[in-house]
Amino acid sequence: MKISTLSALVVVTSLAASSGALAQDVAAGKTSFNKCLACHAIGEGAKNKVGPVLNGLDGRKSGTIEGYSYSEANKNSGITWGKDVFLEYIKDPRAKIPGTKMIFAGIKNEKEANDLWAYISSFDKDGKQK
């Protein structure tokens, strides 16, 4: 009986720790998103700026936000956004999509890039946080 109680305690503690880590990643990603705010918007009521709205980015095909004028390179990249593609892209956008209009030096720090993805991917296509 003591072993099953201990096992349950370990599972509950692990779940609490992992959900806390996720919350910290999203919070850190929100701070990192400040680097993106000049060009991109996210959340309810977001509008295209110099760059497209980033709501619902996870699983979205590149170059498909209504009302945004994408470069041909972006529209024809064949990219479907997901964590791995985003992490590669955000390091050096112009290397990933040569000819993109995005002028950004990139985020080389892996933890920061992961935190940023945690934040961006937490928004659905309507701008609501999941």
64-123 pLDDT, tens digit per residue, is 999 999 999 999 999 999 999 999 999 999 999 999 999 999 999 999 999 999 999 999
Task: Check: CB of residue 130 under 8 Å from CB of residue 55.
Answer: no
Residue whose tokens read 């609490």 = 16
Cα 56 to its chain centre, rounded Å, is 9
pLDDT at position 12 is 40
CATH node for 26-122: 1.10.760.10
pLDDT at position 3 is 54
Distance CA 70, CA 127 (A): 20
